[in-house]
């Protein structure tokens, strides 16, 4: 159910955050929102559609328009479908938006999420562990929880690329959630665990005594927030105004506050000043994946 809930979260972000240009064409009968399959890994399609129901109801309430969700396999397909207008809205991880935005000039960021905690990844070990750096973790030594978030997986993959061969590899037993991975580290059954920083923070709050037996071996810089994007000629301005009003008021009414609390968000906001500079900095650490079959220039 956790993954199913994320669908609703990101769907509402898109539903209440759009600011398209004045003079856009009238919207289609149904506003189609694209969300990436990686945002809710392992969730059966029936649960995806079930979790989409609140999105449709809220979208209808705030805009008078019908809404629907399309699950898209990858960020390149999502950008292409926004470009060809088979989707009106798309939700990208912040790093994926950095990868596509310059190659799809008609796409614009609408809003970003304001998460309750920084979007970071980390590797934890026991507080008394001899490991000083990830290079000290030999062989299959890192518990990677089921459903690991995309930014955490990206950080881990790029980290391993910087290490000597055979270091910091995934532990063979992969059937653990975040808390189970932490407990495995504390109990000494696995040397380290890869975690979303928010999951570690939650564990520290729930079990402060046990958490003192851990230390963070290495952590990422904060990742940029999730981006809701649209094509420039995507929607009519009057409909955009209704959607934007729902976003702005999310922190001022009981329904909005409950939603934000449930999904661990502080709110939704305009794209912040300096966001493009942050994305350029991110690209230095996380350049986009090379297309399949591409060769290295000689």
Q: What is the rounded radius of gyration, in angstroms, for the C-alpha atoms of the chain?
A: 20
> Does 101 score more than 90 pLDDT?
yes
pLDDT, tens digit, 9 for 90 and up, residues 9-66: 444 433 333 333 434 455 456 778 888 877 766 555 566 555 556 556 656 666 667 7
Domains defined for the chain, CATH in brackets: 2-116+224-285 (3.40.190.10), 121-219 (3.40.190.10)
Confidence of residue 230 (pLDDT cuts 50, 70, 90): confident
H helix intervals, 64-173 = 75-83, 94-100, 150-161
pLDDT at 48: 58
pLDDT in tens, 273-288: 999 999 999 999 999 9
Residues in a beta bridge with 143:
193
- CA 73 – CA 29 distance, rounded (Å): 24
pLDDT for 291 equals 64
Cα torsion at 224, 228, 233, 234 (round to 10°)?
Answer: 170
Closest CA to 233 of 96, 93, 84: 84
Distance CA 96, CA 17 (A): 19
At 105-130, the pLDDT tens digits run: 999 888 888 888 899 999 999 999 99
- What is the residue-averaged pLDDT of the chain? 80
- Kindly state the average pLDDT of the residues 218-226: 95
Q: Could you tell me which residue, 234 or 132, shows the higher pLDDT?
A: 132
pLDDT of 256 above 70: no
Q: Tell me what pLDDT residue 257 has.
A: 66
Spatial distance between the Cα atoms of 111 and 155, rounded to a whole number of angstroms: 24
The candidate with the shortest Cα–Cα distance to 219, out of 118, 95, 119, 121, is 121
Concatenate the DSSP letters of all residues of 219-278 into one string: EPPPPPPPEEEEETTSS-HHHHHHHHHHHHGGGTSHHHHHHHHHTTEEEEEPPPTTHHHH
How do residues 130-188 score in pLDDT, each as one tens digit? 999 999 999 999 999 988 999 999 999 999 999 999 999 999 876 899 999 999 999 99
CA dist 48 and 136 (Å) reads 41
**Strands (DSSP E) found in 56-196:** 66-72, 89-92, 107-115, 121-126, 140-143, 169-170, 192-196
226 Cβ neighbours under 8 A, 6+ residues apart: 10, 13, 91, 92, 93, 94, 112, 113
Contacts of 151 (CB under 8 A, 6+ apart): 93, 94, 95, 119, 120, 121, 196, 220, 223
Percent of the chain with pLDDT over 90: 47
């Amino acid at each position: 159910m956790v993954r199913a809930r994320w669908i609703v979260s990101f769907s509402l972000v898109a539903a209440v955050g759009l600011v398209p240009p004045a003079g856009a064409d009238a919207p289609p009968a149904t506003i189609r929102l694209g969300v990436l399959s990686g945002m809710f890994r392992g969730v059966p399609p029936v649960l995806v559609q079930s979790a989409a129901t609140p999105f449709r109801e809220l979208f209808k309430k705030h805009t008078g328009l019908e809404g629907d969700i399309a699950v898209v396999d990858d960020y390149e397909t999502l950008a292409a479908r926004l470009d060809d207008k088979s989707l009106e809205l798309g939700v990208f991880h912040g790093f994926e938006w950095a990868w596509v935005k310059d190659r799809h000039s008609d796409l614009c960021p609408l809003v970003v999420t304001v998460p309750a905690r920084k979007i970071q990844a980390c590797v934890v070990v026991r507080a008394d562990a001899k490991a000083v750096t990830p290079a000290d973790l030999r062989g299959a030594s890192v518990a990677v929880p089921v459903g690991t978030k995309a930014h955490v997986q990206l950080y881990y993959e790029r980290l391993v690329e910087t290490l000597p061969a055979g270091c910091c590899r995934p532990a063979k037993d992969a059937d653990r959630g975040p808390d189970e991975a932490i407990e495995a580290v504390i109990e000494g059954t696995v040397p380290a665990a890869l975690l979303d920083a928010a999951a570690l923070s939650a564990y520290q709050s729930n079990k402060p005594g046990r958490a003192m037996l851990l230390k963070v071996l290495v952590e990422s810089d904060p990742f940029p927030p999730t981006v809701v994007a649209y094509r420039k000629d995507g929607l009519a301005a009057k409909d955009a105004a209704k959607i934007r009003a729902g976003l702005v008021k999310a922190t001022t009414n009981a329904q909005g506050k409950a939603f934000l609390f449930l999904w661990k968000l502080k709110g939704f906001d305009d794209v912040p000043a300096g966001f493009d500079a942050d994305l350029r900095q991110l690209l230095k650490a996380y350049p986009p994946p090379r297309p399949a079959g591409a060769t290295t220039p000689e």
